[in-house]
Amino acid sequence: MNPQTQETRAAASSAEVRRKHKEFLFPAVANYYEEPIVLAEGKGLRLRDLDGREYLDFFGGILTVSVGHANEDVNAAVKAQIDRLGHVSTLYPTIPIVELAEKLASITPGQLKKCYFTASGTEADETAVMMAQTFTGRSEIVALRHGYSGRSMLAQSLTAHAPWRALPTKIPDIKHALSPYCYRCPLGLTYPSCEVKCAQDIEELIQTTTTGRIAGFLAEPIQGVGGFVTPPKEYFAIAVEIIRKYGGVFICDEVQTGFGRTGGKWWGCEQYGVEPEIMTMAKGIANGLPISATVCTPAIADSLTKLTISTFGGNPITATAAKATIEVIEKRDLRTNSEVQGKRLRAGLERLKQKYPRTIGDVRGMGLMQGVELVEDETKKNRTPNPKATGRLFEETKKRGLLIGKGGLYGNILRISPALTVSAAEVDEAITKLDESFGAIGA
């Protein structure tokens, strides 16, 4: 990072920013920490706040800064594009939009070939559901409990977390299947003797709560907001086979799991050996610029015959940022780094679980998407969620200059997801800071 810039020095104090945030934003725009951090500058995995304090970023703006803050290659491409052409709308084809679509077609699995661009994950999921419905001529969708799809009316209805639903479900055609949440198995079973009954139960859900012919199944390979709930390896093969038996397509929401996040592969669904007919992506696609995509098979894309427009979708600047981000991931082989550093991170977290067996109930995830579930007392099998300890741990990690995320229905799951550029030394530093923080809360 540079020494603090003129602008940040001239800017208001952090107290002033916090005051204005309270005064002029919706109170629902919640911040982390008792005293929120006002971040002002970043480079790689390092951030600095307005008061000059530095942080190691292991959350990346919610799994979005995929190749590090102020990445030189992405920023250079964006700066050049801003000076060349900023916006024309999708009424005109541009080089950036076709180049990005071609790139996505080349890295997405199977028959996924045609893209529709929007500006957020919410819109990508909206588009995906609409495409499943136009293609099949049916409307019923199976989603998952503990899933998260965004904040529009449809996305809130797909979302299965009361805290994220401002209004009751407005869309009657959505049925929620059981979450493949092994640590808190909804059927009270244990993997693998359970034979993945949560997936098998989708058949009865369709038979008993739908017309028996469905449009599709929307699921995240790892439930992100849900607390990095990681389904067993057989889950998607079983679930998707049932979905197809009843005429539905598989919509894979890769908003959190995409672009190498799960390690080794581009997409979370590849870890499960299943190919979706529709895939959605956002967050890590463009290192923080607002762009999302819904990628479909040609037959599904062709089924939409009405007019549709997203003014900002695939704008030249955001499309350029996305292509540059993907190229950085390719050029620096960051999918491999995600796998290698993901293993190192996981090993470190498993060591913490050994050291703090009471408070750490579960460690789960893939690659650089690792979750830690905090409970009352795992040694006594008391798995009551422990959001209080999570809150205290957050304050301790903040003191030690480490940023992490949290999630889960009860707010008791740490979400740890650094940029794919993370080094071994940074992983070790994060583990040390977490260790000290768990020690400080008497875990």
Of 42 and 121, nearer to ligand PLP (C-beta) is 121
Of 288 and 316, nearer to ligand PLP (C-beta) is 288
Tokens of 264: 């080794």
Cβ 246 to ligand PLP shortest distance, Å: 24
Cβ 312 to ligand PLP shortest distance, Å: 13
Which of the ranges 11-19, 145-153, 262-270, 411-419 carries the binding residues for ligand PLP, by CB under 6 A? 145-153
Give the residue at shortest CB distance from ligand PLP: 121
By CB under 6 A, residue 156 contacts ligand PLP: no
Task: Write out the chain in H/E/C secondary structure.
Answer: CCCCCHHHHHCCCHHHHHHHHHHHCCCCCCCCCCCCCCEEEEEECEEEECCCCEEEECCHHHHCCCCCECCHHHHHHHHHHHHHCCCCCCCCCCHHHHHHHHHHHHHCCCCCCEEEEECCHHHHHHHHHHHHHHHHCCCCEEEECCCCCCCCHHHHHHCCCHHHCCCCCCCCCEEEECCCCHHHCCCCCCCCCCCCHHHHHHHHHHHHHCCCCCCEEEECCCECCCCCECCCCCHHHHHHHHHHHCCCEEEEECCCCCCCCCCCCCCHHHHHCCCCCEEEECHHHHCCCCCEEEEECHHHHHCCCCCCCCCCCCCHHHHHHHHHHHHHHHHCCHHHHHHHHHHHHHHHHHHHHHHCCCCEEEEEEECCEEEEEEEEEHHHCEEEECHHHHHHHHHHHHHCCEECEEECCCCCEEEECCCCCCCHHHHHHHHHHHHHHHHHCCC
Cβ 204 to ligand PLP shortest distance, Å: 26
Of 149 and 412, nearer to ligand PLP (C-beta) is 149
Residues 239-278 that bind ligand PLP (CB under 6 A): 253, 255-256
By CB under 6 A, residue 150 contacts ligand PLP: yes
Of 71 and 120, nearer to ligand PLP (C-beta) is 120
Residues 278-297 that bind ligand PLP (CB under 6 A): 282
Cβ 426 to ligand PLP shortest distance, Å: 24
Of 44 and 226, nearer to ligand PLP (C-beta) is 226
By CB under 6 A, residue 338 contacts ligand PLP: no
Q: Residue count at the site for ligand PLP (CB under 6 A)?
A: 14
By CB under 6 A, residue 126 contacts ligand PLP: no
Binder to ligand PLP among 58, 59, 135, 148 (CB under 6 A)? 148
By CB under 6 A, residue 441 contacts ligand PLP: no
By CB under 6 A, residue 236 contacts ligand PLP: no
Which of the ranges 217-225, 313-321, 360-368, 418-426 carries the binding residues for ligand PLP, by CB under 6 A? 217-225
Binder to ligand PLP among 44, 96, 224, 248 (CB under 6 A)? 224
Of 56 and 291, nearer to ligand PLP (C-beta) is 291
Cα–Cα distance, 146 to 226 (Å, whole number): 5
Cβ 186 to ligand PLP shortest distance, Å: 20
Cβ 283 to ligand PLP shortest distance, Å: 7
Cβ 280 to ligand PLP shortest distance, Å: 7
- Classify the phi-psi angles of 175: left when phi > 0, otherwise alpha if psi is within -120 to 50, otherwise beta: beta
Q: Where on the chain is the footprint of ligand PLP (CB under 6 A)?
A: 120-122, 125, 148-150, 220, 224-225, 253, 255-256, 282
